[in-house]
Amino acid sequence: MAYAIPFIILMHVCTIANVASSNDLKLRSKFSSILVFGDSTVDTGNNNYIKTLIKGNHLPYGRDFPNHEPTGRFSNGKLAIDFLASTLNLKETVPPFLDPNLSNEELLKGVSFASGGSGFDDFTIALTGAISMSKQVEYFKDYVHKVKSIVGEKEAKQRVGNALVIISAGTNDFLFNFYDIPTRRLEFNISGYQDYVQSRLLIFIKELYELGCRKFAVAGLPPIGCIPVQITAKFVKDRYKCVKEENLEAKDYNQKLARRLLQLQAILSGSRVIYTNIYDPLIGLIKHPRPEKYGFKETNKGCCGTGTFEVTPLCNELTPVCDDASKYVFWDSVHPSEATNKYIAKYMELEVLPKFQFHRNCKFDV
């Protein structure tokens, strides 16, 4: 009888492993492609093809990317969506839709429509010259037309309906229109502006839904007050302290967004609209970097230049950079490093993607 207990435990462990493996396989085969909309956090090079000063197509951007070449990504290497696409066995990197050399295979497996400097508020676009969210929808219509020409209307509809749609935008709206250039403060208080931005976001999701998208992962705001450029702009004396008010307001925004996305899902038949909490994993890294586990040592300054204000044109080939960007949460004064992007992608794999599984027999703690 003494031998039976270890045997039962072993069988139980094997059963859990098999269930987890089965769930993992289901997850990897659940999505036909990855379709990405938003700002510089998910722009893989679309800004290379438009007139804007906000570009990441020059060194030192991309220095740790395969072949050490700048691609237009606003990081030293890959973005979170690249790691996520790889996890889903779709592709190693997500190409920009505006790349004129895209193959049919690349189109079918997914692209990014995002643009660095974009946001839901038209005021944001007026300042940055980025591709607006409404223009990204127009590009998506072109994409659907191309997919139909490749695989036919029936399969195209299935592919779009089974695509993982990632939406990551909103930070620029608050930076450019409320905090640093307070244009919108003349007509909104912070709560009112949050509502305004989210109303535009919900309309955006509905437009994609009407075009056939069904599976949405929608990112909330990061801890805006911990972005290095914000610490600089607000003259925070201790760089290891964030702008508390901006972080609290980002949390308020995220709580509203989570509720509204649930309400939206209820009225969009057959949809899954999943709130993606990027605030908590990022604030966790910034406040408790745990270098022995994750390798991060610098949490409030970027790797590029002084790390306090350099971004896009000011982070260039003449700018000194740190030796090892994997020790930095931020690459420049705004954007995460590749190491942070990898961390966020892993968080999404464990905490967000499983929510697209409608029928799960059990829930495992991560």
Question: What's the pLDDT score for residue 29?
Answer: 56
Domain carrying residue 125: 26-356
Q: How many domains does the chain have?
A: 1
Lowest-pLDDT range of 6-20, 32-46, 128-142, 270-284: 6-20
Question: What's the pLDDT score for residue 16?
Answer: 38
pLDDT in tens, 129-151: 999 999 999 999 999 999 999 99
pLDDT tops 70 at residue 311: yes
CB atoms within 10 A of CB 149: 12
pLDDT in tens, 36-69: 999 999 999 999 999 999 999 999 999 999 999 9
pLDDT in tens, 95-109: 999 999 999 999 999
Does a structural domain hold residue 20?
no
Does a structural domain hold residue 335?
yes
Q: Please tell me which residue, 29 or 184, carries the higher pLDDT value.
A: 184
CB 93 within 8 A of CB 102: no
CB 86 within 8 A of CB 78: no
DSSP string, 46-106: GGGGSS-S----STTTTTTSGGG---S-SSSS--HHHHHHHHTTS-SSPPBTT-TT--HHH
Does a structural domain hold residue 205?
yes
Does a structural domain hold residue 305?
yes
For 124, list phi and psi in degrees, rounded to 5. Answer: -60, -45
Bridge partner residues of 34 (DSSP) = 110, 164
Question: What's the pLDDT score for residue 240?
Answer: 77
Does a structural domain hold residue 131?
yes
Question: What's the pLDDT score for residue 2?
Answer: 44
Round to whole Å and give the CA distance between 162 and 284: 32
Residues 6+ apart with CB under 8 A from 58: 70, 316, 317
pLDDT in tens, 208-259: 999 999 999 999 999 999 999 999 999 887 877 999 999 999 999 999 999 9
Q: Look up the CATH number of the domain holding residue 105.
A: 3.40.50.1110
Select the highest-mean-pLDDT range: 10-14, 22-26, 132-136.
132-136
Question: What's the pLDDT score for residue 293?
Answer: 85
Residues 6+ apart with CB under 8 A from 197: 119, 120, 121, 170, 173, 174, 253
pLDDT tops 50 at residue 3: no
DSSP string, 228-289: HHHHHHTT-SSTTS--HHHHHHHHHHHHHHHHHHHHHHHHSTT-EEEEE--HHHHHHHHH--
Lowest-pLDDT range of 14-18, 70-74, 109-113, 226-230: 14-18
Does a structural domain hold residue 250?
yes
Question: What's the pLDDT score for residue 151?
Answer: 98
Does a structural domain hold residue 14?
no
Round to whole Å and give the CA distance between 331 and 199: 31
CB 278 within 8 A of CB 227: no
Round to whole Å and give the CA distance between 221 and 29: 29
> Mean pLDDT across the stretch 262-281?
98
Peptide bond into 60 cis (omega under 30): yes
**pTM for the whole thing?**
0.91
pLDDT in tens, 196-209: 999 999 999 999 99
Residues 6+ apart with CB under 8 A from 295: 326, 327, 339
Does a structural domain hold residue 166?
yes
Cα atoms found within 13 Å of the Cα of residue 215, Cβ hemisphere only: 21
CB 112 within 8 A of CB 96: yes
Active site residues: 40, 332, 335
CB 347 within 8 A of CB 334: no
Q: Percent of the chain, pLDDT > 70?
A: 90
